[in-house]
Structure 1
Amino acid sequence: MYKRVIAMIENNYEKNIVEIVEEHPCPNGSEWLVYQYKKTSPLILAAWREGNKHHFVCKVGKENLKLVPSLSAAGIEEVKVDNNYIYITYAGLAGAGVGAELRKTAENVVDIKILNKGGGSKLGRSQVITPKMEKLVIGIDDTDNKEKGATWVLAHKIGLEIERLKLGYYLDHTIIQLYPGTPNKTQNCVSIALSFATLPENKDKIIDKVVDILKKESYSDKTAIAVYNGLFASKSMKLFTLKAKREIVSLEEAKQIALRNNIKLIPIKGEEGLVGAVAALGLAECHKLAAKLYEDIEKNK
């Protein structure tokens, strides 16, 4: 059975983009599914796999699928947003059709409707209904000092606590390597981006809880966070992060990027941490790039 199915809409609803995140029952079975869905579904703009978790970025709408055994065996037929719910219609041949039923008991699924019972050589179609959620990404920097602490560890602890309190789903924890030549670093010069799927009414509760934990548990007097409500970072956010990998960037630059992208800045113990916190947001979804030093990125161009 699937562990959970989450669907998030861009907070600017006019964009009509939904990101679906599913945890597949089989760690490597999801590779076939991602390949087939992306190949078959015109609605899917991007798809990728992380372990048994797969992501589909879809347009809102409906497209009739041209299903062909082996070649294009399964996909997403429709994504609909209505009031507080998102409706996802899956279609597939043989086992791909039966597999849709495994979402029935997944966490966060409100209901599932079997439209056509699959199996054997038959077509299977089902509609999964989930709450309409949004993505909240929080950049965190400067929580340790030379003697104790580790920002990535405290950030992970925060993510687990947010999920334990049922304020949102802890989607991701990304370590962003920044410019190692900065004189203000503690040691490795990284900041952290935490990503959550949450109901709109819980966004402020998550922020308040993160601030509360950092006030109590940070060892630094420079701790700050930056909060972005959106599925994906803008081009200007990504460019700022790349610049922060390459060289020292100013607090004023970070504030300008925040203003341009509606990023909320919260200096919890000081403003210095805002630079790394904002920089964390630009590559929150780009894990391999986030981890690299700038010179290694340039070598691989």
Structure 2
Amino acid sequence: MAQIYAEAPAKTVSAGNGIEYAYREVGEGGVPLVLLMHFRGNLDNWDPALVDALAQGRRVIAFDNTGVGGSSGTTPSTVAQMALDAIAFIDALDLAQADILGFSLGSFVAQEIALIRPSLVRRLVLASAAPQGAPGMHGWATWVIDAVGEPAVVPSHVLDVFYTRSAASRSVGEKAMQRMFTRVEFDQPTTWQTRQAQYDAVTAWGIPDVSLLERVTAIQAPVFVAGGDNDPMILPRYSHLLAGLIPHAEIKIYPDAAHGFLFQHHEEFAGDVKDFLDRA
């Protein structure tokens, strides 16, 4: 029986940058799919149902970047350094090429990886994403950062940001959160240093600078941009902006969904990602 994400043990690998990275992997075959996590998230914050669906017929790898969760080091405060660290992790696994799925902050890092080392990225999935320098992205709305940025993470506040106020969305969100925290072995929690450094990186990424929008036009890999139609953290207009800037990018916006659209619509999203990655 194939291993499922909720039962996958944490592994470690030493990279050339001196960091010991914690990661989990499931599935076999195909070009490996590397997952890049959201603000303050660790290995436990991936919905097992989504990862298992993505791993049908391919190897899927989730990891804690430098200073996050079970990985050593100090979390950097720039997206560019996070991308270099992610490349160091991928190199440590001896992957010559990979597909990349970046979620939220992870989508910023994914864009940088595709720009820094184009030969590494075969296909790119950007979930809840925005390009660097987009006007209005300089930090999140006060109620949003209050909900997800306090020292103690409050699950009900996270639900407010990741799911809409509809009964259907909220119910699915509660089930996804239960799946995330039903496992024998848990990752190390992210620290306050990680929270501060990551939010510094997010706000710096969002300093308005229209000239920086041109950077993503250099992304050579095929790109699938996806988001929720009611995302209060990274508004849907930024998905449209990003998809319009990247040559030949595709876009899909999922209904009655907020920041956690990929968990809420995990079956549909996984199917869409599979179709995109498997396309000739």
TM range (shorter): under 0.3
Instruction: Report the TM-score, using the length of structure 2 for normalisation.
Output: 0.25
The structure with more helix, counted as a fraction of residues:
2
More RCO (CA 8 Å, sep 6+): 2
The structure with more strand, counted as a fraction of residues:
1
Larger Rg: 1
